[in-house]
Homo-oligomer: A and B are copies of this chain.
């Protein structure tokens, strides 16, 4: 068992003991449903781990961890509506199961419940510090989602724009989760800042890896269908880099392939993948991922906390991003 799994387990137990309740039950049932679908609980686990760097009893961070997980699940509920996704973690999405209106409204109340958890568990000064981080991150996640949606209809998305989008949509929440853990652990402003940067950079690396694995991953290990991004014509880092580095002919061909929805998906996936290989896109993406990973590592090094405790966070990063070669 990895050392970080203790924190995941600790959170899962807490979550199971704290279902949301209230009247009318129809409002809260979808909230408990989406939270029960599982997932790796990475974001709440890093809240606890960041707190533990500075504080023997990381239990104090459990309400903050719950707020982060509830917020994350709120974004899943509303994003699934926007993406018209029928499935989430192999089960029906909230709007699929309970209807569009319940999806919107239970998502709304989850956002409110996340704030409520922070307000109720911490004294005013600490709550204000936590809420400032939480609020900034929440706003940025919405901005990231808006960029993501508008990129679908844009043909001129640049790589810096893409990196900014995944930073906002995915990475800042990891950064914010670590920062909040540091605040609960009273680790001080500079350590909180370094942890935020660790999470933000690791989060970008994590999303880049997701892009890579979606196209080049081992079907046995990768949870989702390999090639799904290509089938869905997503503008991933791989696509944008190929458009940047390819010849006019290759660019035109790639643009064409990513505009069609043929019945034979496999032929399309294979051709796009072959084009990526010709242009060494995988290696280039791995290099950018490694750069962000390296940055993340340096920020964790700069955190003033016992090395043994920091090692647990490093171990999680290595586990998520693959062992360094």
- Chain A interfacial positions (CB closer than 8 Å to B): 22-24, 26-27, 78, 81-82, 100-101, 104-105, 107-109, 111-113, 115-116, 119, 124-125, 127-128, 131-132, 135, 138-139, 142-143, 145-147, 149-150
Contacts and interface: CB of A to CB of B under 8 A. Distances in A.
B139 A116 contact: yes
Contact of A138 (B112, B149, B150): B112
Contact of A108 (B26, B78, B101, B113): B78
Contact of A101 (B101, B107, B109, B149): B149
Copy number of this protein in the oligomer? 2
Contact of A132 (B27, B113, B119): B119
A149 B118 CA distance: 29
Given A81-B104, A147-B24, A135 B111 contact: no
B101 A82 contact: yes
B113 A139 contact: yes
B131 A119 contact: yes
Given A24-B150, A119-B132, A142 B105 contact: yes
Nearest to A104: B78
Contact of A135 (B23, B107, B115, B149): B115
List the 5 shortest-distance A-B pairs measured between CB atoms, nearest first: A124-B128, A27-B146, A109-B142, A82-B101, A112-B138
B128 A27 contact: no
A109 B24 contact: no
12 contacts: A27-B143, A81-B101, A104-B104, A105-B149, A109-B139, A109-B143, A111-B112, A115-B115, A115-B131, A124-B125, A124-B127, A131-B131
Contacts of A135: 112, 115-116, 119
B119 A128 contact: yes
A24 B143 contact: yes
Contacts of A78: 104-105, 108
A26 B135 CA distance: 20
B111 A111 contact: yes
Contact of A104 (B82, B131, B150): B82
A150 B28 CA distance: 13
A112 B147 contact: no
A127 B130 CA distance: 13
Contacts of A131: 115, 119, 127, 131
B146 A105 contact: yes
B109 A23 contact: no
A275 to B, nearest CB: 30
A67 B112 CA distance: 14
Contacts of A112: 111, 135, 138-139, 142
